[in-house]
Amino acid sequence: MSAPEVSLPADGLIAVVKRDCPTCVLAAPALAALEARGGLTVYTQDDPAFPEAVRMRIDDTALSVSHRLGIEIVPTLIRRAGGEEVERTYGWDRAEWERVSGVTGIGADLPAMRPGCGALNLEPGTLEDLRIRFGETGLNARRIAFGDDEDEIEAIYERGWTDGLPVVIPTERRVMRMLSGTSRDPAEVLGLCPPNLVELTVEKVAINAVMAGCKPEYLPVVLAAVEAALDPAFSLHGVLATTMFVGPVLVVNGPIRRQLSMNSRGNALGQGNRANATIGRALQLIVRNVGGGRPQEVDRATLGNPGKYTYCFAEDEEGSSWEPLSTDFGVSRGVSAVTVFAGYGLQGVVDQKSRTPESLARNFAESLKALHSVKLAPACDAMLVVCPEHERTFREAGWSKARLLEELHRLCEVPGEDLVRGAKGIDEGLPESVLGKTRNKFRPGGLLIVRAGGGAGMFSGIIGGWTGGGFAGSIPVTKEVKS
């Protein structure tokens, strides 16, 4: 798209004003005085009849001149020479106006200084429209035109670009606004997105973040989640292709949680919080729309799980006596980060009677040993989501997270006699070579602990994972959130 022609005086003074600005109204006599001396051009943003004291006014309600000049505050006074800008000031400051204009005694009857007002060309939506009009979008993705009679939502369904729920239409304006949430180049390639190994750019992430319903300020978290999911250790292609139930589970740590008002407390893993819901959904839509990971195609899950729509929550760091999850992966406390874990569903751990850490840990361990199958070990990774009331039991007893992990690993040692095929009348199981030995339910480092949930209720949860057990799987990955 070619930029519209905007002609500007090669020499002299330019003023940009709007009636809906008290300082512009205040400065109108000074503009009239400058016009009387010659060489002043006034552009008005909102009312072509303003300012009445100036005879030669130019209508800039289309804001083309304001955009080309990069006006941020009105009034703005600019001096040009030889077709180039040489001086600029904004608001009303008599000394500055005298310096820029070279005229002394301007507005002698006016106050010495008044702040200006925001320019109309920078208003939300308007700036994006101007950048589209001037061909300054920086967007490279292919545009899809819908027919005049097409319902856009239905057209997106027909083309397979949705997860089954309606999405937000990713117009140029919305995508540009989404990209304002990051300083990263829209053309930056983050990696190859499985399963089709398509180049995934920041722009494509922004498009799907719009579709998911994200706000621009969520985009850095989505980008960090994408980078974590594309890490080879996470094995995103395997997460898709396995017939297991898993999908990406996102846990957010650091100051960004509070900045985005993410939910880490009551119903943290449920519905109702925009950031939680849309950040996780954006990653799922990227995998579908960019990578081509669709159910019953490369996504081979036998059952899947509802978390494959979205599975994202924040850890309750403020209420916790433990170090946050991100520190387990080398990120300093106080640094915003996202951990991506290949997990499924939520298995509840109900314990309203235990008042000692030993009893509660045993309940956790027995529940953990049921993951995948009571006959398999090592079987999978797991994320233990400890509720505040349960965490309090460990805190009051002086148990650190490391102490709890150590105890759980000890309790998750299973005798081979319980694991062999046929034991307990179950044909599933391990070969007889494990007899006389023990096997741990989890690989070293395969058990993660986070704190989240409401303040009432002794109900923790287990998110089973997919890795370990002697076969190729997925390893959790943490990435810092960048602006």
> Where are the chain's structural domains?
12-133, 154-480
The conformation of residue 438, written as its DSSP 8-state character, comes to E
Q: With contact defined as beta carbons under 8 Å apart, do 375 and 426 qualify?
A: yes
Distance of CA 216 to the CA centre of its chain: 7
Those residues of the chain that have pLDDT short of 70 are: 1-5, 468-472
Give Cβ neighbours of residue 59 (< 8 Å, ≥ 6 apart). 43, 44, 48
Take residue 128 and report the two structure tokens written for it: 């994006």
The conformation of residue 243, written as its DSSP 8-state character, comes to S
Q: With contact defined as beta carbons under 8 Å apart, do 466 and 244 qualify?
A: yes
Give the whole-angstrom CA distance, residue 64 versus residue 75: 16
| pLDDT for position 402 | 97
Helices 274-289/202-212 angle, 10° precision:
130
| pLDDT for position 4 | 57
Q: With contact defined as beta carbons under 8 Å apart, do 293 and 235 qualify?
A: no
| pLDDT for position 143 | 85
Q: With contact defined as beta carbons under 8 Å apart, do 139 and 172 qualify?
A: yes
| pLDDT for position 272 | 96
Q: pTM of the full predicted structure?
A: 0.89
Short-list 228, 230, 221, CA closest to 477: 228
| pLDDT for position 2 | 47
Short-list 76, 79, 31, CA closest to 55: 31
List, for residues 255-290, the tens digit of each pLDDT value.
999 999 999 999 999 999 999 999 999 999 999 999
| Residue located via tokens 């319903």 | 213
| pLDDT for position 472 | 55
| pLDDT for position 453 | 97
Give Cβ neighbours of residue 77 (< 8 Å, ≥ 6 apart). 13, 14, 15, 88, 89, 90, 96, 97, 100, 101
| pLDDT for position 470 | 44
The values of phi and psi at residue 449, to 5°, are -130, 130
Short-list 263, 282, 315, CA closest to 478: 315
Please give the CATH number for the structural domain made up of 12-133. 3.40.30.10
